Amino acid sequence: MSMGDFLGIQPSELKFPFELRKQSSCSMQLTNKTDQYVAFKVKTTNPKRYCVRPNAGVVLPNSVCNVTVTMQAQKEAPPDMQCRDKFLVQSVIAPEGATNKDVTPEMFNKEDGKLVDDFRLRVVFVPANRPSPVPEGDEEGTSPGTSSAEDEIKKSSLPEAAQSVVSKLNEEKASIIKQNQKLLGELELMQKRSREGQRGGVSVVAVVVGLLLGILVGYLIRK
């Protein structure tokens, strides 16, 4: 805590989480450790950028007053995230029983020989909170060993009935693949025989047609 003659001010600098196009706020705590009423006023070198609530008031003896400073949304970041803005907190002994409505600019006029305490605070921009980075293993994908371990865990967590169904489906899948390979082999053999039949002057189509006619004639004779 930074101590002036009348007020203790915390923190000693104003830190604003900086994020483009978003408002940001921080607070000051003014502590009056005296037995007198203390009036205060907050000024800034850039009043268009900041909103201070309250920007003036009275801190009762042995009491605390919280001041909220809000920075308006910024369209661009300053070079190297350095800010030259500053704040000035002025404090002066106020009449006993004074209220916030009794605070006037003339109370802080040093020309009248009044003892006015000045305390300056600089503004600091800090990066806004960001989500934690994803571990490298998650970005690049898990290794085969890791995937296998995860599969085992998933299998062990399945009910026995579900495991039986999964096993049966895997067997049927393997059987279908085997049958497809067999059909492909037979198809290649038929194509090969078709090419040989065309070279010998006999078409496989003619053979098939002859077989179909023979079957039809036999069926009619049985009729």
- Same domain (yes/no): 20, 68: yes
Beta bridge partners of 7: 32
Mean pLDDT score, 136-150: 48
179 and 114, same structural domain? no
Is residue 96 assigned to a domain?
A: yes
Q: Please determine, for residue 110, whether its predicted confidence score (pLDDT) is greater than 60.
A: yes
Sequence-ordered list of residues with C-beta below 8 angstroms from that of 91, at least 6 positions apart, any chain: 4, 5, 6, 7, 30, 38, 39, 40, 41, 116, 117, 119
CA distance 14 to 12: 7
Half-sphere exposure of 215 (CA within 13 A, CB side): 6
pLDDT at 36 (0 to 100): 96
CB 26 within 8 A of CB 69: yes
Inter-residue contact 161 to 51 (CB < 8 Å): no
Residues 120 and 181 in one domain: no
- Domain hosting residue 112, numbered range: 7-126
Q: For residue 113, how many C-alpha atoms fall within 13 Å in the half-sphere facing its CB?
A: 0
For residue range 11-64, what is the model confidence (pLDDT) as tens digits?
A: 999 999 999 999 999 999 999 989 999 999 999 999 999 999 999 999 999 999
Q: Is residue 39 part of a domain?
A: yes
119 and 178 share one domain = no
Provide the percentage of residues in the chain whose pLDDT is more than 70. Answer: 69
Q: Is residue 211 one of the residues assigned to a domain?
A: no
> The whole model's pTM is what?
0.56
CA–CA gap between residue 186 and residue 191 (Å, rounded): 9
